Structure 1
């Protein structure tokens, strides 16, 4: 037992947990812990971006790359309220960080002091965060901190990961008590629940009966680091693999049986395989509306006619949208390992079972390539989206970490990007928050300082957080931002064209707010970068893109590349997506399959 201030307890426990970074912004509500962080500054680095939401996105991205949580620190009131977006983003995508928020002193609770929420309960900020965190703890005394810290770290990484809030009254940072630091939390991945032998046997029975099976994998597979096991199953059985965006990179992108993403903006072979499959082995992913063509039968899936084996570590996800033929609560890596171990004992399982199915899939691949590949080499001004994706695929190093913001550019990368490694394509998928890609790339750079980290972000998203360039210069983070500049909220503008007969309002950027037909407007993003002390380049010709990207990556300096993109070219839909009650559109390429 040692006599310690509350701030010291927190700082020392972060050291004990080997948390390398606290990412946050100072305020009157957390100034009481800054002195404790100063004392451990050789072991825990305080990184201060220019906005609290950015701090959360950085911490989220750090976990997605390294699968180890860091902490954020925000002050009472508005500073912590700015964390709502980044916490919701992390919770939706099963990412984890410890959000330390400050609150009013306990002696002033319920007296309406500066920045207290008190209408329903004193110091009520924890209730603001309740829907967007896995758990919120509110220790009101120093002697409550050790248990809250240990439980908080355990909660973050046990089972399905998620962010946790530690809401601390200002006085607790400075008050003292006799306390003992708790033991270290469980290491992420230490708990791997497995399936029963009976369930493994039944799963193999379903596989042996199938003529057209597919795997469908996602974030749960990535978080469990189950890529090697899924890859081994793919090769051993010769079964196609469909991925969600957060599952991309778990299996080799150059394998002809890696079909990519499914849904409206998925790849045609993935949608075809999903429509025609007779068994889907879903491991660690959800059937959300975008990966299921809004659950319309025949467009991406054909449940319940297609049998479903659904494996997830979170019981709440099993059967949420489709009732499974067999539901199993298990860790993705543990379950995939069990299948691998059991297959040699089954003579009825082998790649020869599905030779005809693989040939059918290969035919769809050829159709799709013939349709899309010519545009990848098209030299145009402004630049075609396919050319940008293809050029980046060619010139970016294999170990690149790509961070993508929400927007039409994300649709193109979901459809065509081929990540070479797991945990290297970072998406705000569940909550689709703008700003994640812009800010998160700096968290990825902290997690992987020796790897190239490149964010591809829309012009709208970049304008929500342009201060990131200043932060990158301040902390010497050699991130590259490629701004997809189409002078519009492009994804929503495309919806207006597709669903509302082109009646455009509020979605394109015009000088003087002239409206359609006027002069398009955006700031000079490259000049903004140079004003911050970073490199800035504007690219309007296809021929200049590769060189600009190669130079930016080679220079290892913060850089913004403003790329002017053809806004009139839209991703080819191969599934559908509905915004009820508006009728949904048929695929541009391919057709739904509804077996009789």
Structure 2
């Protein structure tokens, strides 16, 4: 043991855990650790964005790309309160980072010093974060730090990943104690539970009894890096795969067996396969309202008439919304590998069993393509949404990492984007946070410095978080932001139109005395003012060239794309905001088994 300050111990532990970055913003509450981080700056780099929410989204994206956690640092009070959004986003999507927050000195606790929350308990900031983290630790002495640090890293990455809070009173950064830097925590990769032999056999029994099976995979498959095993299963058995947004990229997007996303704004073949399946093998995903057409039978799924085999590492997700025929607590990669190996003992269980089912699915794919594909080549001003998706798909290289914000553009990309690699389409799905896509592209770029990183974001979301341009220029991060500029909170405007007889109020951006002139800032000029490149695109013919040039330049760039706000994604399922009645699909019909 040696005498160390608390800040030094934290810094040295981050080095030991091989944490390459701390995304943080200074404040009086955390200035006590900054000098310790300075001493290890060649091993742990402090990157300071212009807002704490952004720091959290950056750390979240880093984990989604690398599957290795980094840390954030925020000061007492408002700075740490700004972390709530990004922590909730990470928790909802099973992403992990260590949120180090500062608090008032222990000697001042419960005396209402500057920025203390003390109404119900002294130094009570962890109560603010408890609903949005996997666990919160508050070591009040330096000698409590070693255990808290190790437990924090273990908690983040064991089982279902999630963010963890380490709340540090100011004095603990500067006080000294005889302590030892703890050993690194166990890693998520070493804790991979599998299914029992009986459950693997029961899984194969269900497959043998089915005629129309589908896989439904999500973030759990992505986090476990189970794509190769699930792809092999799908190919060997000839079974179609439906993906959640966070499962996209796990299986080959261009394969005829990959059906895409399901739900209101899912692809028609996915909803049709979900409606008509007699067995759904769900690996590492949950049945939230958007991927289940708000649980209305016949719109996306037909449980309980359809049998459900549900596999998840988190036991709380089994049976949350649909009671499974067979529920298995297991890691997605381990389970898929077990199932694949067990097929050798079932020689009659192969792709020939499901040929008629695949033909039916192929017919739905052909119908959908005939319906949607013509719009991808329409050249208009402003641009059609389908054209934007198609142009980006052809202009961006296969190794692109795409980060998507919340908004109507996200619905279009869920329906039509085809990611070429796993961990390359980052979504705020569970919490749907405005600003996630805008900010997370910075963390993705730091995680993959040699790959192009592109954010497709709404005009509303970008206006909430435009400070990202400063960070990109400061740290020379060649991120590209494609702004889906439709002069509105268009996702909500479209809901309002659909539910309230075409009326709009408070969901579009207007100016002028009559408040009827569409208004947005000149986003390209804003980018140039920050030191980035900026381009405005109002004609279809100009989009591909602008995107290709931005990627070649390897500089921060904003491409302001004016998109037709009157073209809406074709719903193929439904979504309800109770008690307002839900709508039937624009394309396709519900089917009850």
TM-score after normalising by structure 1? 0.99
Alignment of 1:144 onto 2:144:
yes
C-alpha contact (below 8 Å) 1:260/1:415 kept by paired residues:
yes
Alignment of 1:528 onto 2:526:
yes
Q: Which residue of 2 is the match for residue 507 of structure 1? A: 507
TM alignment of 1:275-354, pairs within 5 A = 275-354=275-354
Alignment of 1:235 onto 2:232:
no
TM alignment of 1:38-187, pairs within 5 A = 38-187=38-187
TM-superposed deviation, 1:512: 3.0
Distance (whole Å) between structure 2 residues aligned to residue 358 and residue 102 of structure 1: 56
TM-superposed deviation, 1:594: 1.0
TM-superposed deviation, 1:188: 2.5
Alignment of 1:445 onto 2:448:
no
Distance (whole Å) between structure 1 residues aligned to residue 578 and residue 524 of structure 2: 40
SS in 2 for 1:186: coil
Distance (whole Å) between structure 2 residues aligned to residue 136 and residue 501 of structure 1: 47
Distance (whole Å) between structure 1 residues aligned to residue 227 and residue 163 of structure 2: 24
Q: Deviations over 1:463-491 (max 9, x none)?
A: 00001011100000000000000000000
TM alignment of 1:362-373, pairs within 5 A = 362-373=362-373
Distance (whole Å) between structure 2 residues aligned to residue 5 and residue 83 of structure 1: 26
TM alignment of 1:535-574, pairs within 5 A = 535-574=533-572
Distance (whole Å) between structure 1 residues aligned to residue 490 and residue 69 of structure 2: 34
Distance (whole Å) between structure 1 residues aligned to residue 505 and residue 514 of structure 2: 11
Alignment of 1:588 onto 2:592:
no
Q: Which residue of 1 is the match for residue 203 of structure 2? A: 203
TM-superposed deviation, 1:502: 1.3
Distance (whole Å) between structure 1 residues aligned to residue 188 and residue 527 of structure 2: 38
C-alpha contact (below 8 Å) 1:68/1:188 kept by paired residues:
no
Alignment of 1:248 onto 2:248:
yes
SS in 1 for 2:188: coil
TM-superposed deviation, 1:433: 0.3
SS in 1 for 2:591: coil
Distance (whole Å) between structure 2 residues aligned to residue 419 and residue 186 of structure 1: 31
Distance (whole Å) between structure 2 residues aligned to residue 514 and residue 58 of structure 1: 40
TM-superposed deviation, 1:513: 6.6
TM-superposed deviation, 1:189: 1.7
SS in 1 for 2:518: coil
Q: Which residue of 1 is the match for residue 576 of structure 2? A: 578
Distance (whole Å) between structure 1 residues aligned to residue 421 and residue 15 of structure 2: 30
Q: Which residue of 2 is the match for residue 392 of structure 1? A: 392
TM-superposed deviation, 1:381: 0.6
SS in 2 for 1:88: helix
Distance (whole Å) between structure 1 residues aligned to residue 583 and residue 124 of structure 2: 45
SS in 2 for 1:62: helix
SS in 2 for 1:364: helix
Alignment of 1:226 onto 2:226:
yes
SS in 1 for 2:242: strand
Q: Deviations over 1:151-210 (max 9, x none)?
A: 000000000000000000000000000001111011232110000000000000000110
Distance (whole Å) between structure 1 residues aligned to residue 533 and residue 334 of structure 2: 46
SS in 2 for 1:189: helix
Distance (whole Å) between structure 1 residues aligned to residue 397 and residue 73 of structure 2: 34
Distance (whole Å) between structure 1 residues aligned to residue 512 and residue 492 of structure 2: 21
Q: Deviations over 1:313-336 (max 9, x none)?
A: 000000000000000000000000
Q: Which residue of 1 is the match for residue 467 of structure 2? A: 467
Distance (whole Å) between structure 2 residues aligned to residue 188 and residue 561 of structure 1: 38
Q: Which residue of 2 is the match for residue 410 of structure 1? A: 410
C-alpha contact (below 8 Å) 1:260/1:267 kept by paired residues:
yes
C-alpha contact (below 8 Å) 1:526/1:561 kept by paired residues:
yes
C-alpha contact (below 8 Å) 1:67/1:188 kept by paired residues:
no
Distance (whole Å) between structure 2 residues aligned to residue 591 and residue 322 of structure 1: 22
TM-score after normalising by structure 2? 1.00
SS in 1 for 2:91: helix
Distance (whole Å) between structure 1 residues aligned to residue 310 and residue 189 of structure 2: 20
Q: Which runs of 5+ in 2 are unaligned?
A: none
TM-superposed deviation, 1:288: 0.1
SS in 2 for 1:586: coil
Distance (whole Å) between structure 1 residues aligned to residue 39 and residue 188 of structure 2: 27
Matched residues, number:
593
Distance (whole Å) between structure 1 residues aligned to residue 349 and residue 513 of structure 2: 64
Distance (whole Å) between structure 1 residues aligned to residue 162 and residue 420 of structure 2: 26
Alignment of 1:259 onto 2:247:
no
TM-superposed deviation, 1:99: 0.1
What's the RMSD between the two structures over aligned residues? 0.5
Q: Deviations over 1:232-284 (max 9, x none)?
A: 00111100000000000000001001000000000000000000000000000
Alignment of 1:382 onto 2:377:
no
SS in 2 for 1:538: strand
Distance (whole Å) between structure 2 residues aligned to residue 414 and residue 186 of structure 1: 35
SS in 2 for 1:102: strand
TM-superposed deviation, 1:347: 1.9
